[in-house]
């Protein structure tokens, strides 16, 4: 376990916090570049809308669109989550999209897929806006015996089923700034 001594967030335990690095930033970078290559090949002439799912997407989204580097638009959608901790809750819309999706090619950008509940909800919601096409990109997908029908079309990396932080992902709104992906040891 790596020790990170940070004077914040009493809600996530007493510092120093213990982390185990799961994926280093250079591996994340390689996965982003690979996704970008595929998306560039598939969308170079389609002027797609990259639709980020706030808040977790913001770092991945920024890296991804610069790596893809094709004509595109950017918009965001926000879901409420009652999952401060490790529990998955009901999904509700907090901020809907601003762009008109009719006839557009939409690329949904998500940080991580766990149960697939959020992507399932978003797929139904966005399809009701009549896009020409809709695909989902997730940087991380947790390995599970069975996901529902909402698995992403483009996946950065499949990871073990553990609760992770960093690269935009939080625990109780903390740790999004960490450049690598970590398992946070909360039993301390």
56 binds Mg ion (CB under 5 A): yes
Q: Using CB under 5 A, which residues numbered 114 to 173 contact Mg ion?
A: none
**How many CB atoms within 10 Å of residue 170?**
18
Long-range own/partner contacts, residues 10-18 (CB < 8 A, 24 or more apart): 11/172, 11/174, 12/171, 12/172, 12/174, 12/175, 12/184, 12/186, 13/186, 13/188, 14/188, 17/184, 17/185, 17/188, 18/184, 18/185, 18/188
Among 110, 136, 178, 180, the residue binding ligand IMP under the rule CB under 6 A is 110
Minimum distance between the CB of residue 172 and ligand IMP, rounded to whole angstroms? Answer: 10
Of ligand IMP, Mg ion, none, which one does residue 115 interact with (CB within 5 to 8 Å by kind)?
Answer: ligand IMP
Name residue, tokens 């969308």. Answer: 43
22 binds ligand IMP (CB under 6 A): no
Q: Which does 169 bind (CB under 5 to 8 A by kind): Mg ion, ligand IMP, none?
A: ligand IMP
Mark 158-187 with x for binding to ligand IMP (rule: CB under 6 A) and - for no binding.
Answer: -----xxx---xx-----------------
- Name residue 2's beta-bridge partners: 19
Min dist. Cβ of residue 51 to ligand IMP (A)? 13
Which residues, in sequence order, are CB contacts of 119 under 8 Å at separation 6+? 108, 110, 113, 136, 138, 150, 151, 152
Of residues 72 through 111, those in contact with Mg ion by CB under 5 A are 111
User: Is 33 a residue of the active site?
Assistant: no
**How far apart, in Å, are the Cα atoms of 104 and each of 101, 107, 122?**
5, 10, 16
Q: Which of 42, 63, 111, 114 is catalytic?
A: 114
Q: Which is nearer to ligand IMP, 87 or 128 (CB)?
A: 87
Among 48, 52, 56, 131, binds ligand IMP (CB under 6 A): 56
Q: Write out the residues near Mg ion by the rule CB under 5 A.
A: 53, 56, 111
Enumerate the active-site residues: 114
Q: Write out the residues near ligand IMP by the rule CB under 6 A.
A: 53, 56, 81, 83, 88, 110-118, 163-165, 169-170
């Amino acid at each position: 376990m790596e020790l990170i001594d940070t004077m914040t967030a009493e809600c996530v335990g007493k510092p120093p916090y213990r982390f185990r690095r799961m994926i280093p930033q250079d591996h994340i970078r390689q996965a982003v570049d690979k996704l970008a290559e595929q998306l560039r090949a598939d969308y170079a002439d389609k002027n797609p809308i990259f639709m980020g799912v706030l808040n977790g997407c913001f770092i991945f989204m920024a890296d991804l669109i610069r790596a893809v580097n094709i004509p595109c638009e950017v918009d965001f959608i926000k879901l409420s989550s009652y999952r401060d901790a490790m529990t998955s809750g009901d999904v509700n819309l907090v901020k809907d999209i601003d762009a008109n999706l009719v006839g557009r090619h939409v690329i949904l950008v998500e940080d991580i897929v766990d149960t697939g509940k959020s992507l399932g909800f978003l797929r139904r919601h966005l399809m009701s806006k009549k896009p020409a096409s809709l695909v989902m990109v997730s940087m991380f997908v947790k390995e599970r015996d069975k996901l529902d029908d909402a698995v992403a079309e483009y996946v950065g990396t499949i990871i073990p089923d553990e609760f992770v932080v960093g690269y935009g992902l939080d625990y109780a709104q903390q740790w999004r700034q960490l450049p690598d992906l970590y398992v946070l040891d909360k039993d301390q």
